[in-house]
Amino acid sequence: EIPKRDWSSNVCSSDLQLMNKNFISGCLLALTLMSASAMQQDTLKLSPGPFYGREARAVDSLLRRFHYRRTEFADSLSSVMLDNYLASLDPSRTYFLESDIRDFSRYRFSLDDRTRKGDVRAAFDIFRVYRRRLLQEMDYVLGTLVSTRFDYSADEYFDSDRDQAPW
């Protein structure tokens, strides 16, 4: 008969103490970082700081040097990137207005040049408009629709599949 081995006996108490110490140190570090970030003055203010510009330049460099297709970040990719960004923010075309989209068209063929220079203001400008429109919609829903009595016997429908609808 093969004797059963107690594997827990292979871990000595000093190893357990070291593991506990590392775990506690990691937790304390995480708590310190979370409290430090919570103490910042204005966490809702989004602004294009220099860090984001360095990241943008790094992405441009990585695309040109290491992408398997050696993708050049040119006007055509800039246009696709703008469309994808708008679709990711507002896939149901609920918040942006047609006038917003017309205004954003000024970025359509310049995102590549801006990224190369580390200028990320376009993304922040677009997001600010998105946030403003979202807050306007929430004010409308909470201020008007919540208190409205609806007639559910009316022959009406809501088109929820608006990804191809006009802005």
Model confidence, pTM:
0.66
Among the listed residues 130, 47, 46, 60, the one whose alpha carbon sits nearest the alpha carbon of residue 88 = 130
Phi-psi region at 98: left, alpha or beta (left = phi > 0; alpha = psi -120 to 50) = alpha
Among the listed residues 85, 77, 132, 131, the one whose alpha carbon sits nearest the alpha carbon of residue 104 = 85
- What percentage of the chain has pLDDT greater than the value 70? 72
CA 25 to chain centre: 30
> Encoding tokens for residue 40?
């910042």
Q: Each residue of 36-89: pLDDT tens digit?
A: 454 454 456 777 777 788 888 888 888 777 777 777 778 888 899 999 999 999
Contact in structure between 122 and 107 (CB atoms under 8 Å): yes
